[in-house]
Amino acid sequence: MKLGDTRNMSVLSDNDAPLNPPRNTVDLSSIVASLEPDQLISAKQKHHCPRRSLTATEKIVFWALRIYLVLMFAVVLYQVFTTVK
């Protein structure tokens, strides 16, 4: 590219603002707090994030955690009942 060649250069003027300016979480929380319930519901429906499909390994890990939780709950209940007697 030569010194005076400006064909491929793009320059933003003061009037050319980015379409989605960066917002911090304080701005977003104040916006969400000011919405009415029906506006909040419609905003959430527009940006719905579907469930993530899990791999087989992840499913096995989650099921193992569920089974562990049920077993530990049973152990705690057993300990409570034997202590009360």
What are the sequence ranges of the domains in the chain?
Answer: 54-85
Rounded CA-CA distance 63/57 in Å is 10
- The predicted pLDDT at position 85 comes to 82
Q: Which helix (H) or strand (E) holds 57?
A: helix 56-84
Q: What is the pLDDT along the chain (85 residues), one digit of tens a residue?
A: 455 555 555 554 545 555 555 556 667 777 777 777 777 777 676 776 778 899 999 999 999 999 999 999 999 999 999 999 8
Query: Is the entire prediction scored with pTM above 0.85?
Result: no
SS3 state at 78: helix
